Amino acid sequence: MEKSLFIAGLVVLMALGNSPVLACTNFIVTRGASKDGSVLISYAADSHTRYGAIAYYPAADHLPGSRCDVFHYETGKLLGSIPEVAHTYSVVQFMNENQVAIGETTFGGLDSLGSQPGAILDYGSLMRIGLQRSKSARGMIRVMTELIAEYGYATGGESFSISDANEAWIMELIGKGRYEKGAVWVARMIPDGYVSGHANQARITNFPFQKKNDWNDPKQTVYHSSDVIIFAKKQGFYKGSDDAFSFSDVYNPLKFGGARFCDARVWTFFRNVSQKIRDNQEFTNYALGKFARSDKLVDQSSNPNGYVSNRLPLWVKPDSAISLQAMMARMRDHYEDTPLDMRNDPGAGPFRLPYRWRPMEFEVDSVMYLNERAVATQQTGYSFVAQSRKGLPDVIGGIFWFGVDDADGCVYTPMYCGIQRIPESFAIGNGSMITWSETSAYWTFSQMNNWAYTRYNMIHPEIEKLQQQIENQFVSEVSEVDKKAVELIGKDTSEVVDFLTNYSVMTGNKLVAEWKNFYHYLFMKYHDGNLKITEGQKIKDNGNGKNVPLKPLHPGYGKDWERSMIQGTGDRLKVPKEEK
């Protein structure tokens, strides 16, 4: 890769860095659980300093002796360099040309394992380099773990979603800190027909221990470091039997926040797709941070170590197949219609806003309280749904559905995995968190979302209607684009790449222009707390042809909030009756 292209990619990684604790959410849907046979993984990159843009790394051939510089994903610091491989694959953000995709959530884990002197690879550079060197999800796991074993691991505990057109995996990994070089880790393949997820709390508990990692055995569904249990015992982190060992409970011990702020996001996904999860009060209690410690775990195995016994299962079978659009909808969740519904307490204000401004915890009269941490959140820099489709050539089969800012107000836009350019509106360098750009997708969508927060229950339904209309249109378009691309690929691979690149670039830029116009319309419609009369996306004038609108409506705050407003005010707001 040319030096300038690498540095360009680094700039966006630095801009997306400084991830806070409790950031990011991943959901996983296997082929047998999806409506069209796709493997789907989703990812929300949540941080108050993240800027939504698409990094692109072209495929490249490298001369013997070439080196790959490794920069810290969050700080941009040069950590060192490693030998380059002969050929690297092209990467669109977190999906490569082979339909391999990855997402992550940080769980941190034991404090003593958070820093490893001399380590070269942090989680972000590991994801990027892994994608550049992998043809399959299993291959990605192997590349990542072998690199860490050789060059060390420079950051805290991570959960990864890793997928290709056939399989989806969850891998959890934590460094060995100052004790040894490298990391301990476990990877499990999600059974076909099931779904999984993770959200800043390690999720793999017990697992079947393997004698060796046979990377060529398609029947092996568990991989792990050979010392994952030995290391814990040697350092005094675990004293029980090997059979009862739990990766999560040992390396990321469960606390209230791990359930309420983190695993509750997985719970809301599971309960939406599974009646068994909805009906199980113990799982609801767990999401609320209310732990049970019975003699049996969820899978009815014994619990000699006294771990929390009402934890969510690692995966569940959905009641019905999950569509691409349904997966997108799950990234827009605020605990609606659950005991954690954010629309129904005073923090929602008069317009039922399902968001809470930070900090997540606050103290009143020496008592600590919390703001819910939902899947959809205002500080999201970008999110995606990576769709890998078997039966199509990789350059056509992989689609990186990308959206910027709050997922609840984004539009997931199709970027084929083998494209060679990024739309200007989504490109690195077009704006930043401290630089405004009128053509930037991020600032266009963020401007709209922040406007919607001011009167959510009226403005957001209009956004949602157009959002779904456009996304459904994209799905229909992709079906036609696929057909054309299949025709072209038999003639010239470069021709199909150009075709898919042009479609992705045109679609991304056109969307941003249309969304900007939509924002202008909604801003005028709800300007100053009024509600102007409209027809289509046009504000009606009063009929005199002088650009004067019809008299606007004044929707006010609603009766329920008006009652709240007068509580505790005595007669201060009361209007006396006029004397006759």
Is the pLDDT reported for residue 426 higher than 60? yes
Mean pLDDT over residues 427-442, rounded? 97
On whether the CB atoms of residues 431 and 51 are closer than 8 A, the answer is: yes
pLDDT bin (cut points 50, 70, 90) of residue 82 is very high
CA 447 – CA 440 distance, rounded (Å)? 11
In the predicted model, what is the mean pLDDT of the chain? 94
Is the pLDDT reported for residue 381 higher than 60? yes
pLDDT for position 3: 41
pLDDT for position 397: 98
Give residue-wise pLDDT tens across range 267-313: 999 999 999 999 999 999 999 999 999 999 888 889 999 999 999 99
Lowest mean pLDDT among 19-33, 79-93, 336-350: 19-33
pLDDT for position 299: 85
pLDDT for position 580: 63
Is the pLDDT reported for residue 120 higher than 50? yes
Write the DSSP assignment of 5-63 as a string of letters. HHHHHHHHHHHT--PPTT--EEEEE-GGGBTTS-EEEEEEEE-TT----B-EE--EE--
Tell me the percentage of the chain whose pLDDT exceeds 70: 96
Give residue-wise pLDDT tens across range 205-215: 999 999 999 99
Q: Which helix (H) or strand (E) holds 279?
A: helix 275-279
Give residue-wise pLDDT tens across range 218-235: 999 999 999 999 999 999
Is the pLDDT reported for residue 482 higher than 50? yes
Give Cβ neighbours of residue 323 (< 8 Å, ≥ 6 apart): 34, 35, 36
pLDDT for position 5: 39
pLDDT for position 520: 98
CA 514 – CA 537 distance, rounded (Å)? 12
pLDDT bin (cut points 50, 70, 90) of residue 22 is low
Radius of gyration of the chain (CA): 25
pLDDT bin (cut points 50, 70, 90) of residue 527 is very high
Lowest mean pLDDT among 65-69, 298-302, 396-400: 298-302
pLDDT for position 73: 82
Give residue-wise pLDDT tens across range 538-552: 999 999 999 999 999
pLDDT bin (cut points 50, 70, 90) of residue 502 is very high
Tokens of 141: 């796991």
pLDDT for position 579: 72
CA nearest to 218, candidates 138, 116, 164, 304: 138
